[in-house]
Chain A
Amino acid sequence: MTAIQERPAAEIGQERRRKEDQRLITGRTRWTDNLTLPGMLHLAMVRSPFAHARIVSIDVSEARTAPNVVDVLTGADLGESQGVNINAWPITPDQVAPVHLPMPSDRVAFAGEVVAVVVARSAAEARDAAELVDVDYEELPAALDLKEAAAATDQEGVLAHPDLGTNRSAFWKFDSAEAGTGGDVDEAIQQARADGIVIEREYRQQRLIPAFMEPRSVVVDPTGEQLTMWSATQVPHILRFALAATTGVPESKIRVIAPDVGGGFGGKLQTTPEEWITWAVARRIGKPVKYTETRSESLVSGHHGRDQWQKLTLAAEKDGTVTGLKVELLADMGAYVSLVGGGVPVLGAFMFNAIYKFPSYQFNCQTVLTNKTWTDAYRGAGRPEATFAIERLMDELAAEVGVDPLAIREKNWIRHEEFPFTTVAGLEYDSGNYEAATARAKELFGYDELRAEQQARRASGDRVQLGIGVSTFTEMCGLAPSRVLGQLDYGAGGWEHASVRMLATGKVEVVTGASAHGQGHETAFSQIVADRLGVAFEDVEVLHGDTQISHKGLDTYGSRSLVVGGEALVRAADKVIERARPIAAHMLEASVDDLEFSGGRFAVRGTDQGVAIGEVATAVFAAHDLPDGVEPSIDSEATYDPVNFNFPHGTHLCAMEVDTETGELKMRKYVCVDDIGTIINPLIVAGQVHGGLVQGIAQALWEEAVHDESGTLVSGSFVDYLLPTAADTISFEIDHTTSPATTNSLGTKGVGEAGTIASTPAVVNAVVDAVRHLGVHDIQMPCTPERVWRAVNGAGSGGSTEGAAMPHFGDQEAAGNQEQPGTASTEGAGA
């Protein structure tokens, strides 16, 4: 039989360029907004400008008569047909959550909420008519400040939803003494107050906006036997389930397609009012309809992330051995409890103890409702917040003890010979080597030289001071063992599904339940299957994101696709080999026991006789001569439920120059050594690490969703919501150490969120380290030059951000509405 094809010895580990990139980058591909269906109508949303208001009346008469307008609908018109937006993770049995109608008809609870929808023949006509909808609002006081909202009652303060009687949604607690995983934290703190060290801090996790590249878009076609929804979503399977569960359409009549999706970062891990409205309108009108948001709409109505106050108490012995950590969080849910909602801070609950052997630990989280945009998962979801808190605290402890921040970490971290290790939060870390990653990072960084330079600059009182920031992070990813999710009251499991279809021509179709939206699954999964089945990389096609093709799946988030979805894939591929084996034996007239499979070929041991798996596939297709009783198929599938989370870790080092005169920051060096187990494709990994780093650095330095005192999003465009570009970053030095995961066949660990989780505290630690000798021990994020300057000049952590935007796009007419101080001529600098 024929010789096998030329292919590299191993695909895994190759720096393959991503096969999907050409079409994605050029845009000549199936973005949802690129779809045009016959007779398709377009939607424009009318949104509330007020954070909290009663809807007195909505007059749609003028809009309805505008050119080519088909209909204008309000929440009252759609009634129950619009369904509801669900929360899939009620973190406590008594969680308080308002009913979330996609389009309310009586009251709006955040600025940006949809109150009416225009249906027209073109998007432009829909937009024009939306301007003509006249909504009469009666403004209500808005609950905006997180701390004030948490303290409000029905007697005093402002309630985001007055009928609920409280802004407190749920209180979630973990205590190591109660759980039997450790000691009593209050005792540890008491002890430390008597004869040790107690560090008490309060940190702010500012509100962020995911800001994915492709705005959200949805098309619904109600004309077939199944209703089809295309959506720019990370979660087509969850979306289908939620549509069925809330809109009365049987699941079997719903097809959801996530075509090419341009990024998400958690921001598309949602089931949105806009999707539900589009669904309801299409069903009502009986024609395909499309809604694509503008960037401004995206920033104001797509869910936001982070937004916590973190109160932290760390107890330690005088030598810096930590004896306990107590965490008290306030987490802003925004106006509604979103799909994962309160689960985001709870995911962080297991990570505050990080890589350390803390003997006692307590985590308390109060989730709070406010009149701001809802919040949910954003890259890292709960874990960046936790990592920030503990890595900042470890630096503070080092400063208190008077030792190097790496030394304090080493004193407390789990040593490599102690794995597997059960933490005080009850997780079992399977593998890791913090010593190795740290040693490599120090070497790449030139740690000692930079410390020497820092000393020199301090000694000479240089205007530019140098800071060195450390972050030795770990995270739990690979969401998630279904059993654990059940214990945490999450509404679904955490398994993943894959199937492998062997085509008659020897090509291979792989179907995964993961739903890539920029990660490079097509390439990485092809590499895995190419190796496993011994076929050419080019011969593997990866299919995903369509519930009729990938009928089973739990989608992509939480760095799960490779470690959970990849494992399902490996198992499905192995089943293909097992199903092919008796057929190959039959073809070779040999005994099954005499066959060995390697390099894509079944060979008869000790002979040159063999048959390639593609040839078996062809023979199965013809089915002319199969062994008796053997089904004519070697296609296989597998559903894998992970046995544990997955724990990548790494050491990140950041050197930052701080101009003490202006507060300007200049990153000098950034080194990270991540242990992510076996690497499938180093190029994709580098992309994930670089992108992740920039996103985490951006939280430290640039990004913040700011509202004014009436609840309007001030940073409502990219002029004011500062996303960095390549011009704002330096060239990162990245490397890896490898402790393969022991809980999956390939030894892989997640990498999608690692950079984001690790980098934020590394950067802030560097900024603080640069000016600590000037009496600074915290600077609030984002560390703007102004905040740094104020901190250096003795004004604490830098104060709050002014709720006003630069008015660049005002013109004479628009400027008339803006109150702007200033006159043309002034004394000292007058014209």
Chain B
Amino acid sequence: MHEFSVVSALLDLVTEDARKHKATGVTTITVKVGVMSGIEPELFEEAFHVCKRGTVAETAALELIRQPIEISCPCGYQGGIEGFSFRCPKCGETTIRVSDGEDMILQRLELELPD
């Protein structure tokens, strides 16, 4: 259950952003979660609702975007893979670049500013 560690890291980043923009609150937090990021979205959401209490994101909604694996291949192919097979589905090459789907990114924040 490392979702708690990751959520508390998320809240640190959000708090930092809120402070930088002198925000009084946060309405929405959008996180991109790769299918191979090791994060279970349900556990992540649960952990978020526990951990957000007492932070600037206390009333924030969490929006999770599931990101599939994206690769690019020397043959020119760009797109997904089949299952967990990390090779180019077009030419079979295994020396590919994984461009998305393995990480978790804080994409966007809706901040409330003072009147």
Are these two chains actual partners, yes or no? no
**Residues of B in contact with A (beta carbons under 8 Å apart):** none
**Residues of A in contact with B (beta carbons under 8 Å apart):** none
